[in-house]
Structure 1
Amino acid sequence: MTEAARCEPGTPCWVSLMVHGLDATREFYGELFGWEFAPGPARLGPYVRALLDGREVAGIGLLPAGSGLPGAWTPYLATDDADGTAESVRCAGGTVAVGPLDAGDTGRLVICSDPSGAVFGVWQAAAFAGTEAAGVPGTPFWNELLTHDAEPAGKFYRTVFGCEPAPMGAKDTDRVALRAGGRPVASVRGAGRALPRDRGAHWTTWFEVADPDAAARRVVELGGRVVEAPEDGAEGRRATVADREGAVFTVVRPKGR
């Protein structure tokens, strides 16, 4: 495992899940990934941090009662200036929904959406830099934006964070990598008319597992469902699944592991 370090702007540094049933969700992910939980910053309301071998890997918070919002995983992209980034989001055609605000002494955050409506967070680290473990089962592996068209989405994240879009995958695939600090940190996939109407444009978090087939079966046993059956892809073998509340995520065994 590797400890968190300050990330280049635009790099996903944390993932958080907002749900209606906190206890049931903790049980689901505890059984699936072996996570334990500790209280998060009180200012964020009912919120816990997921721990793997004592290191923080994700957050789970409670949606406001009666909000009607679906549960969803949200990546937080690193910044050196949350207030400046929030203004850049507005100027580039996005929306700022929450913040900027301080999360105790841990950092400063913003919740935004890009012009296509995909929700993401912004994190300016202080005492807490972000995810503290990587490269083992139960940790975030990748984040991908599923949207209508990859090119304008890539331009938005380049304008706001300085990420450089670069083609990836087959030439006939509308998919780009977002590069920060000279390396790929996330991807954007254009789905066109295949974009799910019930979800619209959205970010998806991928979690590493030892066996995606077994993980997909376990998701069903725990009350979730399989959205896309396990298959081999460029990054490794993966399956897209949903938890009990319908929050979608991907489980993946990276190539070479």
Structure 2
Amino acid sequence: MPVREQPWPAGTPCWVDCQVDDTARAREFYSALFGWEIGDSAPEAGGYLMAMRNGRPAAGIGPKPSGPTMPSVWTTYIASDDADATAEAIRAAGGTVLVEPFDVMDVGRMLVAADPTAAVFGVWQSRQHFGAAIYNEHGAYCWNELHTDGYRRAQDFYAQVFGWVFTEVGDGENVTYATFAPGPGADPIGGINDSTLSPGSAPPYWLAWFQVDDTDAVLAAATDLGASVAMGPQDSPFGRMGVLMAPQGEAFGVIDISPPEGSPS
């Protein structure tokens, strides 16, 4: 069981949460699908719910902020040692700070921003809450992936703000895709997909992926719980995967990374 008991390095996707209209409904759905333990929140938390697996924070569920109508979404947060400095770096690189840095009680400091292609992400400066304390196992997030029609522009932005180094892994014709790492020679920590090769795709967005033990079974269970399958199940070089739209409309991916039965180990 991969666990984390210290802050994630700056520039690493460190947390995911969803913003929905009905947090109680989302709690029921994700608890049933992933086995999350989700208790009630303290009054000062503003209705934000912490999803736990094996007693460790796995993800968050929160109400949508007041203001203009927005769709239900999963948000990827990138670790920072200084949220205010990162906000300035975002502006300097051509991004937009949508929600200025603010303290979240005593647990951390955060902001919400959009890259130059309009994909929204969060930045988390940890204090008491480091981010995900469990990952890369059934019911925990395992990958974060940007889908954008501004592929090169987005790479330039994230390289400037977070120091990411990109490695092209697609064929450039059917798939234009790169993994990103915090520096040369480091292990990949996420990916970026050129959505112009997928006609009719959604506006730029970050997609959170959760690891599962059986993709087909999870897609079937999610459908029974009111979700819809947007993609899959299908095999890939990385595992058997699918993309779901939860009952309130937020998209997320699921992937089983175990080798197919009968394949070489």
- AA in 2 matched with 1:249: F
- 2:62 is paired with a residue whose SS is strand
Map of 1:223 onto structure 2: 226
Q: Partners in 2 of 1:150 and 1:101 — Cα distance? A: 30
> Structure 2 vs 1, CA of residues 180 and 202 (structure 1 numbering), >3 Å: closer, same or farther?
same
> Of the candidates 177, 180, 205, which is equivalent to residue 179 of structure 2?
177
Flag as ranges the 4+ runs of structure 1 deviating above 6 A: none
TM-align CA RMSD: 1.8
Q: Partners in 2 of 1:168 and 1:144 — Cα distance? A: 14
Map of 1:145 onto structure 2: 146
Deviation string for 1:31-55 (max 9, x for gaps)?
Answer: 0000111355755521001001111
Map of 1:235 onto structure 2: 238
Q: Partners in 2 of 1:82 and 1:237 — Cα distance? A: 36
Structure 1: which 5+ runs fail to align? Answer: none
Percent of pairs with identical residues: 37
Aligned residues of 2:233 and 2:241 also touching (Cα < 8 A): yes
Does residue 3 in structure 1 map to residue 7 in structure 2?
no
The structural deviation recorded for 1:241 is 0.7
The structural deviation recorded for 1:151 is 1.7
Structure 2: which 5+ runs fail to align? Answer: 261-265
Using the size of structure 1 for normalisation, the TM-score is 0.94
Q: Partners in 1 of 2:129 and 2:170 — Cα distance? A: 34
- 2:124 is paired with a residue whose SS is strand
- 1:130 is paired with a residue whose SS is coil
Aligned residues of 1:20 and 1:65 also touching (Cα < 8 A): no
Map of 2:196 onto structure 1: 192
- 1:183 is paired with a residue whose SS is coil
Aligned residues of 2:2 and 2:137 also touching (Cα < 8 A): no
The structural deviation recorded for 1:96 is 0.8
Aligned residues of 2:117 and 2:150 also touching (Cα < 8 A): no
Q: Partners in 2 of 1:40 and 1:154 — Cα distance? A: 37
Using the size of structure 2 for normalisation, the TM-score is 0.91
Number of residue-to-residue matches in the alignment: 256
Map of 2:119 onto structure 1: 118
The structural deviation recorded for 1:194 is 2.6
- 1:184 is paired with a residue whose SS is coil
Deviation string for 1:182-231 (max 9, x for gaps)?
Answer: 2211100001163645x300000010111111111111111110001200
